Amino acid sequence: MDVIKLDVSDEFEAMEGALELAGGDASVFKMPHVSSLVVSGNRILSANQTEGIVLEKRSTGSGVDIELTIKKGYKIPDPVHLCFGFLPKEGLQQINVSMVAEEDSSVQLVAHCTFPNSEHVIHKMDASIVVHKNAFLKYDETHFHGEQGGVEVIPKAKVVVMEGGRYFTGLTLISGRVGLLDLDYDVEAGKDSVCELNTKVHGKGTDNIKIRERISLIGENARSVTKSRVAIADNAVAEFTGITEGHAPHAFGHVDCVEVIQGNAVACAIPIVKVDNPLAKVTHEAAIGSVDKKEVETLMARGLEESEAVDIIVKGMLM
């Protein structure tokens, strides 16, 4: 067990405050049996690693480099908690992550990204993820943004999932303004692997949302689902590109995109399906439109105002 505590208690408390204000639970970062990492700007405020996990971290000029390895055969019982925050109004946070789940290992990661005061903050995340044979890696990231809309979130990930591996990832950005989101994930799925990519984003004001998710099913019997739910209002714009390629026999991929628009918002969905193996199959469904009228009218018939009804429906979709 390796617990680092620097004398950063003020900043740690500020991060805790920001996280809890945003509905997160900061107490996990003090639990010795839970692996965790708290990064504020380019400072590592706390780090804890438990058995089966190797966590290397280095502060850089504008962020941190992280290498996380789940050792062969280890099934990590508690989710690993990560917190990335940036408290000042302006600046750049560059996170470079390399994650490796070794053969037969299993881990679940929960990341909170909090940018409560941002007027002009860029949060870039470059991730390389390898899920080895029969390993399981689940990574869920939730963002808490302020109401200023001054954040640019630019996550890029290159993911390789090997034979029998399972990779599940989710990004939720529904509290506060999005600002700019430019997400680009690229997944290569091997034989018998299962991949699931989930994104939920709620845009308002002049938010600009770009989501590009590509899954290449290169192994026999590889399966994937790409699911995105985007609600945008006001003058926000959103573009979803879901690319699924079936290159191997019995590979199966599905893309499911729902975008709900209100006000002057503009949404666009581009499903790209490429299959070069006759035994592979890729399906997609995309629905863009305003909130379903029957749903709204049903809730109004139970006494809700139209705006309340729309709110509940949008929230449900992003649950």
Partner 1 sequence: MRGVNLEVADSEIHSVIGPNGAGKSTLAYLLMGLEGYEPDEGEIYFNGELITPLSITERAKRGITLGWQEPARFEGLKVRDYLSIGARRANNVSEETLCHALEMVNLSPALYLDREVSEALSGGERKRIELASIITMEPRLAILDEPDSGIDVLSLKEVITMIRHLKKNGSSVLVITHREEIAAASDRASLMCDGVVVRTGDPVEISNFFKNECKPCDMKAYTLKGE
- Applying CB under 8 A, the residues found at the interface with partner 1 are 292-295, 297-306, 312-313, 315-319
Q: C-beta of 137: minimal distance to partner 1 in Å?
A: 25
317 three-class SS: helix
How many Å apart are CA 186 and CA 254, to the nearest integer? 15
Residue with tokens 């945003």: 22
Q: C-beta of 300: minimal distance to partner 1 in Å?
A: 4
Q: C-beta of 141: minimal distance to partner 1 in Å?
A: 19
Q: C-beta of 315: minimal distance to partner 1 in Å?
A: 7
Helical spans, DSSP H, in the chain: 9-21, 293-300, 306-317
Q: Which is nearer to partner 1, 80 or 261 (CB)?
A: 261
Report the b/e string of 57-70 with b at 16+ CB within 10 A. Answer: beeeeebbebebbb
Q: Which is nearer to partner 1, 132 or 200 (CB)?
A: 200
Q: Which is nearer to partner 1, 109 or 309 (CB)?
A: 309
Q: Which two tokens stand for residue 57?
A: 């971290």
Which residue, 234, 227, 317, 224, is CA-closest to 269?
A: 227
- Spell out the residues 6+ positions from residue 60 whose beta carbon is closer than 8 angstroms to its own: 42, 94, 96
Which residue, 123, 251, 139, is CA-closest to 180?
A: 123
Q: Which is nearer to partner 1, 5 or 315 (CB)?
A: 315
Q: C-beta of 288: minimal distance to partner 1 in Å?
A: 15
Q: C-beta of 297: minimal distance to partner 1 in Å?
A: 6
How many Å apart are CA 158 and CA 185, to the nearest integer? 6
Q: Which is nearer to partner 1, 154 or 300 (CB)?
A: 300
Q: Which is nearer to partner 1, 44 or 312 (CB)?
A: 312
Q: Which is nearer to partner 1, 147 or 308 (CB)?
A: 308
Backbone angles phi, psi at 95, to 5 degrees: -110, 125
Q: Which two tokens stand for residue 212?
A: 């590009």
Q: Which two tokens stand for residue 211?
A: 């989501």
Q: C-beta of 58: minimal distance to partner 1 in Å?
A: 40
DSSP 69-120: EEPTT-B-SSPEEEEEE--SSEEEEEEEEEEEE-TT-EEEEEEEEEETT-SE
Q: C-beta of 274: minimal distance to partner 1 in Å?
A: 28
Q: Which two tokens stand for residue 167?
A: 């990779």
Q: Which is nearer to partner 1, 70 or 313 (CB)?
A: 313
27 three-class SS: helix
